[in-house]
Structure 1
Amino acid sequence: MAEALEELSAREREILALVATGITNQQIAQDLGISINTVKAHLRRIFGKLGVESRTEATTCAIQMGLIRVTPQGAETVQPDADGAADEAPDASAAADEPPAVLSRRLVWRLPLAQGLALVLAAVALFAAALWPTPRAARSGAPSRFVDLPATAPADAAENREGRWVQRASMPTARSRFAQALLGRAIYAIGGLTEEDWSGAVERYDISADRWTERREKPTAVANVGAAVVGGRIYVPGGYDAAGQARDVLEVYDPETDAWSTAAPLPAPLFAYAIAPYGEGFYLFGGYDGEGYVDTVYHYDAAANAWSLAGTLSAPRGFAAAATVREGDGEVIYLLGGYDGQIEYALCESFRPADAAAGEDPWRAHAPLGTGRAGHGVVASGGKLYVVGGGWDGSLLNNERYDIALDVWST
């Protein structure tokens, strides 16, 4: 832990100590006279250096480093010296005589006893979590179903974690409901929700090097979004913003220049759609438009920078997943699962854009998923579809594989 403290700059220690008091990013920014984006950037670096993914874990590290102490009178943060060692806790009576501005500069806060005890309990909980891990919700208690709610792992969770999964480098920013795209030998994670706020963070994972790097932030921070790669650029349409609004913005990221641009807006605000690339564009299936779940299928032509209505779904729904598969001389898009506000679908359907262009019915029905699910991911590889995760009212840890040629599912 001492080595981790030495890796932190003076400013990072200062921010970590403030985080441990429980104040928000906005309050930290105001206290230090910096922007909230600067605070977020510092926190990403702090989390990376400490190897943590949440404020709770960072607070535990602050306790272990001596940046914060829990006493019978409460909890207090202590500014470390240049060598990384924490100074002795200031005398309470002396602190009481100092003006608030001085206290702020010295990073001395006295928290209520309950909060102090909560910090200790948080540390104990983290050690327990290492022995009995359960899925964590980034925004527990939120009233909307478009942010994360607590979930309970099934009894067979430990068994399902065994198998062929391999741990790789953790994302610098712990988040959910973000867009992801594979381009070459790199995976891009874009936007989403953190434990604290909506995020515009863009992080690139080098598969060969097992290393993450930060890239330029997305201009519009949104969640419940997807991404499609077309012509070497990453398209991120719509999304759900911090004001609780559906957006119609289409933002495009160029990895070569690390720059964002805007393209033609969507025909309607939309999020929670399924997205799949096709030719020189991509398709959006269903989603939520701010009023309800929709059955629309939109096509975006990147060369023309234009949208068109390409059809409808068999039932309105959002949070489905889509994957493009080459079949014969053409491509087919598979659409799986989804949620309509009441049920999770087990539907497995395929959409043939060539048939739609010819005026024929583009949809085919296939063997359904073994479990209805929403909010999941799907990957096409070697003639098979791999469906991972999801679950609306509880996490689904059983994954499924679909053999396209045989029209058969297995787990």
Structure 2
Amino acid sequence: MPLKLGSVGVAAVHGKLHLIGGRDSHTVEPIPGTPISQGFGTVRTHLVYDPARHRWSEAAPLPADPRDHAGIAVLGHSIHVLGGRATTETTNLARHDVYDTRTGRWSTAAPLPTPRSAGAAVVLDGRIVYAGGECKGDAATTPTGVYDDVTAYDSAADRWETVTSMPQGRQAFGAARVGNRAYFTAGALTCGGGGSADNLALSLH
């Protein structure tokens, strides 16, 4: 890669990889009372990798806020970037930006119903499903945990709809579709960190 990034969104469209947002950690600060340090420096970067030519290039950067820990999904020619955070989970975003790979331009779409980051996005039955995330409540002062919400985006109507919630809230987990089901695997059950061995399945029918 042309630069070092973490917490980046990745999408594959028409044989190319799009790496969007993330953080470059140009500033690293220790977290008091822990052996952990945290990197800061969220970016608007949009890199494109062409595996056929083994080449990197730059595309139009994210509009407005830089962000990391965003959800990312592909519908047709378009890449949808959902939520994320400007710096930490205290600056969660509800933004929904859409990049058209044919025109190279960004547009905005219906925002997430609730600002959040570190959720999981997957395409199921032609809709984008976004699940979980952190942190609930006023994350700046009294974070209360993680979201169990699951919402589905209909691009034709530009609208989000609530679907069945997960049995338990989570963040930082994986999502993928197999057949007519979406699978949500692992994740932290608390705001900030942790893990689980859960493997959840969702059907929209």
Aligned to 2:34: none
User: So what's the TM-score if we normalise by structure 1?
Assistant: 0.43
2:23 to 240, 249, 273: 240
**Letter in structure 2 aligned against 1:281:** S
Aligned to 1:408: none
* Structure 2 portions without partners, runs of 5+: 27-39
Aligned to 1:336: 131
Asked if residue 284 in structure 1 is aligned to residue 110 in structure 2, the reply is no
Asked if residue 390 in structure 1 is aligned to residue 187 in structure 2, the reply is yes
SS of corresponding position for 2:157: helix
1:255 to 51, 63, 85: 51
SS of corresponding position for 1:354: coil
What is the deviation of 1:402?
1.4
Asked if residue 370 in structure 1 is aligned to residue 167 in structure 2, the reply is yes
2:103 to 304, 308, 316: 304
After superposition, the CA RMSD in angstroms is: 1.2
More strand by share: 2
Aligned to 1:219: 2
Distance between the aligned counterparts of 1:378 and 1:256, measured in 2? 27
**Letter in structure 1 aligned against 2:24:** D
Distance between the aligned counterparts of 1:275 and 1:369, measured in 2? 20
SS of corresponding position for 1:266: coil
What is the deviation of 1:281?
1.6
Aligned to 1:402: 202
Distance between the aligned counterparts of 1:312 and 1:403, measured in 2? 23
* Structure 1 portions without partners, runs of 5+: 1-217, 357-361, 406-411
**Letter in structure 2 aligned against 1:304:** T
Structure number with higher relative contact order (C-alpha < 8 Å, ≥ 6 residues apart):
2
Aligned to 1:317: 116
1:350 to 144, 152, 167: 152
Distance between the aligned counterparts of 1:332 and 1:286, measured in 2? 17
Give identity over the alignment, percent. 28
C-alpha contact 2:7 2:69 (8 A) present in aligned 1: yes
Q: Which has the larger radius of gyration?
A: 1
**Letter in structure 2 aligned against 1:364:** E
How many residue pairs get matched? 179
**Letter in structure 1 aligned against 2:106:** W
**Letter in structure 2 aligned against 1:300:** Y
C-alpha contact 2:183 2:202 (8 A) present in aligned 1: yes
SS of corresponding position for 2:44: strand
C-alpha contact 2:22 2:43 (8 A) present in aligned 1: yes
Aligned to 1:157: none
User: So what's the TM-score if we normalise by structure 2?
Assistant: 0.84
